[in-house]
Structure 1
Amino acid sequence: MSWSPRNLYNLWRRSVGGLVRDSVWKQTGAQTIFQQRWKSKALVRGYHGDFINEKIFKRWYLPATLPDVRPRAKVSIEDSNTFKWAKKDSAASREIKRADEIDSKGLAPVGSLMFSEVERRIDVVIFRACFAHSVYEARRMVVHGDVLLNGKKHQNANTRLAPGDMVSVDPKAIRFLQADSLNEGLEEEKLAKEEEKSESVSKDETSETGATPEPPTPEPPKLPSLKLALNSWKKPGYTPFNLPPYAAPFIFIPAYLEPSFSTCSVIYLRHPTARPGYSEIPTPWHADGEIVRLAWEWYSRMRPRMRSKSQLARMPENRQ
């Protein structure tokens, strides 16, 4: 979970480049089912929560079960006729249309929902809202006290949010905001120095000759720079919000978040969900692919032991 150019390059190699062969299982039986599941687990954990210890992940951040994905019963002609006799033509058409969509799209990719608890973490939410370059940077913000949870300072990066929680980040802690403002300040300072230098040169000329210098020939007007054109719509006094260009592959906001870039805050609306043909969990792997399925099969067989009272006392904060 990082916008680092090296990390994006590695993701490209895993998804399109030369390392794709490591995640394509041959049908010749070169690898056993156990080996395929273990490798799939390692691949998905390399992106989802690699900063979480494996034992802690299985104990606290792995859901006990996933939602049922069995297809609904098809609406028969007799049922549709019953709707029509009850003067519910619109209800009958909606049910038939919904059943046809489910049949065409297939089952919901619920395998990716095994990372829904990780997506609820406050540091992951800050990263998904595009307030940090990486989840490690977001974790640093939380630990250093630059994050507010519902208006109060919060320094526990392991907290899982509840629907309706608002997370605010101090703009001074967002590095790419400070970099943009610093560059603009340097440009303004450079222009001011050039103006002072030109004024001092003109004063020296007048003192030596005793006559007023001739006005300089007007230069052709210069076109405004791209940066000034992009920032021309912004109000004075506001900090510009410019994301790095290499963040383009991940420059999106999940549907369960509602960020506000003018106030540097984000609201966690609800828990991530999945429906046929669509998953709200951002992942570089196919949400309904073989890698995610094999990883869930691994974790479903390697369940943690029964939680004792001492273990429950060490559970990270879960706001439900």
Structure 2
Amino acid sequence: MRKKARFHSLKKIKVRQDWSRWTLYNLSRLKPPNLASKTYFQQKWTAKSDTRAYHGEQVREKQWKRMFRRNLPAVVSMNYQYLARYDGSEQAAGRGAGADTTPGKDNRPENPPRTPYMQMAYYPLERRLDTAIFRALFSSSVRQARQFVVHGLVKVNGKKMVYPGYMLNPGDMFQVEPESVMFATGAPKHQSGRARRTERSLAQKRAEEREGKILKSMAPTKVPLLAEEAAAAPPDAKSDAPPTEKELKKNLQSLMEEADAALAEDVGAKDKQKLRDFRKAVRKALSLWRSSSTTTTLATLEQQLSFLKSQFASKNPSPPSLSTSGADPSPTTPSPDSETSLSPEQQTKLAAAFKRLKEEAEYTFKWGKRDPTKPYATPWRPRDYMSAFAFIPRYLEVNQKVCAAVYLRHPVARPGLAEVPTPFGYETGQLAFNWYLKRR
């Protein structure tokens, strides 16, 4: 495997097909070829070396020479009004007799732009599958696109394609796994040792803040008393009434969110196992709602809340038994005189809330939420330096929602425009084309 220090050389300018800070820096240092102090052979060889470092550097030189074509595709924009009025004989009228045509007459441009034919020297490489994936912004480099193809993550016309050098034909559709595209174009979670240390310190501070919030949220809540009871009760009297439906729902939501956020941080393996046990206990407590009475369910949830508090406060993560002492886990009908009994309407609302919380805990996270299982940063954000390279050529039709693209046609040269994306000027492309043209 090549080293980055050599692959992205800062002493010898080499522009690569990737989204990196070294490539962006080398792009700012590009200069026109030196035509004064070098021979014509040296100029051609230098242009060939610079352009080959960018166009198809993953392809061997012999393989590229077999792909090289001296016939370059191009199109000419034609004015239909002019063609309908004249048949072409007017262009030779009066020649040799002093009659000249007036520029700008009959809808003809005064200074038509030149067609950069020789900028199309590397157009056969644009048909390659790995290059097309990179041009469609499905990968951060051509080598990464090649890796996607070899690993079987790319389909062409609905069939798996494992050959990076497959030459696309007009109308071919290729698709990349969306998860791989999000990994390739998304910002990584950790970029360097310094960034990891900074993120670890910030995660530790956030964990301490969350621990304080969790301990505060798990404090026993008081149910407001009636006016007569409040007047008759002593000032230091404590209420033993169970939490209401809204309070219980709010506590469970906050606990689940804090646990998910803690799992997304860079914490140790033991702490992650403790948090996973915590979530498992909450899920099990939620699943007991339909199979147990209201009294048993509330008692179990209270026991789980105290267990969660001990998970963060102590070093012994041994979960207590789900069955409460003195409570029968079998489904029973609560007594109407029971202090913890709820009305049928409240029970229905609480069951629906528990079901929704259970579904949110079991299913994976959607866009915009933190997911510790993803190798890229969540919520998703673009990779660094991506904006400088976000360009899709005309011969591709890309659908970013399904990570698929269609190869419409081969790239062509137009007046003033070559459809092969390249960072090099016209002189460099001309010298590189002449190098391969003479050696054929």
* TM-score, structure 2 as length reference: 0.49
Shift of 1:200: 3.7
Q: Which residue number in structure 2 is paired with residue 301 of structure 1?
A: 438
Shift of 1:38: 1.1
Give the gaps of 5 or more residues in structure 2.
Answer: 1-16, 91-103, 191-204, 223-235, 241-364, 369-378
Q: For 1:250, what is the secondary structure of its paired residue?
A: coil
Deviations 1:96-134 (Å, cap 9, x if unpaired)?
A: 43x41xx52332111121211101111111101111000
- Cα distance 1:149–1:49, how it changes in 2: closer, same or farther (>3 A)? same
Q: Distance in 2 between matches of 1:301 and 1:82?
A: 37
Q: Distance in 2 between matches of 1:209 and 1:64?
A: 95
Q: Which residue number in structure 1 is paired with residue 171 of structure 2?
A: 164
Q: Distance in 2 between matches of 1:243 and 1:256?
A: 24
Conservation of the 8 A alpha-carbon contact between 1:69 and 1:107: no
How many residue pairs are counted as aligned between the two chains? 247
Alignment of 1:27-38 (within 5 A): 30-38=37-45
Q: Which residue number in structure 2 is paired with residue 115 of structure 1?
A: 122
Q: Which residue number in structure 2 is paired with residue 204 of structure 1?
A: 219
Alignment of 1:219-230 (within 5 A): none
- Cα distance 1:277–1:262, how it changes in 2: closer, same or farther (>3 A)? same
Deviations 1:211-266 (Å, cap 9, x if unpaired)?
A: 69xxxxxxxxxxxxxxxxxxxxxxx9458874324122221110110111110111
Q: Distance in 2 between matches of 1:285 and 1:175?
A: 30
Conservation of the 8 A alpha-carbon contact between 1:144 and 1:155: yes
Conservation of the 8 A alpha-carbon contact between 2:120 and 2:413: yes
Q: Which residue number in structure 2 is paired with residue 66 of structure 1?
A: 72
15, 21, 24: which one aligns with 1:5: 21
Give the gaps of 5 or more residues in structure 1.
Answer: 15-19, 84-93, 184-189, 213-235, 304-320
Conservation of the 8 A alpha-carbon contact between 1:171 and 1:177: no
Q: Which residue number in structure 2 is paired with residue 25 of structure 1?
A: 35
Shift of 1:205: 5.7
- Cα distance 1:197–1:141, how it changes in 2: closer, same or farther (>3 A)? same
C-alpha RMSD of matched pairs (Å):
4.0
Q: For 1:111, what is the secondary structure of its paired residue?
A: helix
- Cα distance 1:6–1:277, how it changes in 2: closer, same or farther (>3 A)? same
Counterpart residue identity of residue 280, structure 1: E
- Cα distance 1:31–1:81, how it changes in 2: closer, same or farther (>3 A)? closer
133, 141, 149: which one aligns with 2:156: 149
- Cα distance 1:241–1:122, how it changes in 2: closer, same or farther (>3 A)? farther
Conservation of the 8 A alpha-carbon contact between 2:127 and 2:410: yes
Q: Which residue number in structure 2 is paired with residue 138 of structure 1?
A: 145
Q: Distance in 1 between matches of 2:125 and 2:143?
A: 14
Larger radius of gyration: 2
Conservation of the 8 A alpha-carbon contact between 1:69 and 1:110: no
Q: Distance in 1 between matches of 2:217 and 2:367?
A: 36
Is the aligned partner of 1:48 residue 2:64? no
Shift of 1:203: 3.9
Q: Which residue number in structure 2 is paired with residue 318 of structure 1?
A: none
Point out the more displaced range, 154-163 or 168-177: 168-177
396, 417, 437: which one aligns with 1:257: 396
- Cα distance 1:191–1:172, how it changes in 2: closer, same or farther (>3 A)? farther
Shift of 1:46: 1.3
Shift of 1:25: 1.6
Sequence identity percentage? 37
Shift of 1:32: 1.4
Q: Which residue number in structure 2 is paired with residue 215 of structure 1?
A: none
Shift of 1:178: 8.5
- Cα distance 1:151–1:70, how it changes in 2: closer, same or farther (>3 A)? closer
Q: Which residue number in structure 2 is paired with residue 269 of structure 1?
A: 408
* TM-score, structure 1 as length reference: 0.66
Q: For 1:166, what is the secondary structure of its paired residue?
A: strand
Q: For 1:174, what is the secondary structure of its paired residue?
A: helix
Q: Distance in 2 between matches of 1:149 and 1:95?
A: 49
Conservation of the 8 A alpha-carbon contact between 2:48 and 2:432: yes
Counterpart residue identity of residue 63, structure 1: R
Counterpart residue identity of residue 133, structure 1: S
